[in-house]
Amino acid sequence: MNSYRIIDSHTHCYPPAVTRDPRAWARTQQEPHWAQLVAPLNKASIQGWATPQQMLAAMDEAGVDQAMLLGWYWENEATCRWHNQVIAEWVKIAPKRFIGFAAILPNKNVLPQLEFAQRLGLRGVGELHSGVQQFRADSSAWLRLAEWCVAHGWPVNLHASESAGLPHPGRVATPLQDFVDMAAATPALNIILAHWGGGLPFFEQNPRLRKILKNVYYDTSASPLLYQIEIFNNMVDLVGAEKIIFGSDYPLRVYPRQCKQADMSLFVQKIQKDTELQATDYQAIFHNNINRLINATAATG
C-alpha cells in the first residue's frame, strides 16, 4: 500500500465511436495527424483503449487516486469542442477520481472555446502541440489563451518532442526555444511540458533560464518508451523533485512487450522499486506538485 496519494496527470480518453475504427473516424473528422499516431499504416500500434470503468479499474490496480483526462491537440476546433464534452461526461461518471482538462485550438475563437470548457467544469488546458496546431510563443491566440489561463488559475499542458532522437510515426518538432519564450511572455502561467520537456530541463542549469522557467514543470508521460528509469534520479538532480509531475500517458501501452492491453500499474511499480528517491521526492512527483496547481485552479476558477 502506498504511503502517499497518486495523481496521474497525463491520461487520455476516447468513446467507442472512436476506438472501433480510429482511422475511419479520423478521416471523417479530418484529423490525419491523430490517425498517424494511434493507427500507423506500416507499423503496429501501441495505442490502447479503455472505457471509464476499465480506466478506474486500472487506477485501482496501480494505486492511483485521481487521473487528469487531457484533451488532444486536435487540428479542428469542432473536434476540440466535441472532445471536451466527452471528457466532461467521464468526469460526471467519477467526479472524485477524474479531473478534466480542455482540448483547445489556439485560433481566433480561443476565448469562446475556453469559456465553453469552463462551463463544462474542466480545470485546465492541454495537451496542446505548437507544431501540429500551428502556434508559437508570439501568436496572438496563444497569448490570449495564456492570459486567460493566468486569470482563471488554469495550468496548460504542452506536448514536447525530444530535441534529438529516433524518428517515429507522426513526430512533429516542438522547438525548445518556443517554450522559453512562452514562459518569458507570461511569467505567471503554470506550464506543464509533457514527456520530460523534450530535454529542456538540462538548460535550467543556466541560472538566467532557470529564473524564466520557474513556473514550468515536466511530466513523465511515455517515459518508458523514451528513456531508462534512471531519468527520474537524473532529473531530480537537474531541476529538483518540485518541478516533476507524474503522468503515464494511459491508455498508451508504454511497455508494449510486457503489456498487450492498456496498463498503469507497471510504470508506477517501476518508479517505486527501481529509483532511488527520498520519500519527499515521491510525494512531490506523484501528488503534491500537481495537486498544488489543481488547488490553485479551484481557488481562482
Query: pLDDT (tens digit, 0 to 9) for every residue of the chain, 301 residues total?
Result: 456 899 999 999 999 999 999 999 999 999 999 999 999 998 899 999 999 999 999 999 999 999 999 999 999 999 999 999 999 999 999 999 999 999 999 999 999 999 999 999 999 999 999 999 999 999 999 999 999 999 999 999 999 988 776 666 667 788 999 999 999 999 999 999 999 999 999 999 999 999 999 999 999 999 999 999 999 999 999 999 999 999 999 999 999 999 999 999 999 999 999 998 999 999 999 999 999 998 865 555 4
1 inside domain: no
* Percent of residues in the chain assigned helix, strand, coil, to nearest 5: 50, 10, 40
The C-alpha cell at 227 is: 528513456
Report the C-alpha gap between 73 and 94 in whole angstroms.
24
The C-alpha cell at 144 is: 490570449
Q: What is the pLDDT of residue 300?
A: 54
Phi, psi torsion values for 40, nearest 5 degrees:
-60, 145
pTM: 0.96
25 inside domain: yes
3-state DSSP call for residue 121?
coil
Report the C-alpha gap between 87 and 84 in whole angstroms.
5
The C-alpha cell at 275 is: 529509483
Peptide bond before 127: cis, by omega within 30 degrees of 0?
yes
Sheet (strand 7-12) strand order:
7-12, 66-70, 98-100
11 inside domain: yes
241 inside domain: yes
CATH number at residue 186: 3.20.20.140
142 inside domain: yes
Number of domains observed in the structure of the chain:
1
Alpha helices in the chain (DSSP H): 16-19, 22-29, 32-38, 52-62, 77-93, 110-119, 130-133, 140-152, 176-185, 207-212, 223-226, 231-239, 265-274, 279-283, 289-300
The C-alpha cell at 152 is: 482563471
Report the C-alpha gap between 60 and 212 in whole angstroms.
38
204 inside domain: yes
Peptide bond before 251: cis, by omega within 30 degrees of 0?
yes
179 inside domain: yes
The 8-class DSSP code of residue 157 comes to E
191-193 and 156-158: which strand pairing?
parallel
User: Is residue 32 within 8 Å of 26, Cβ to Cβ?
Assistant: yes
Terminal C-alpha separation, the chain: 34
Number of other residues whose CB lies within 10 A of the CB of residue 30: 11
Q: What is the pLDDT of residue 212?
A: 98
**What range defines the domain where residue 293 resides?**
7-300
2 inside domain: no
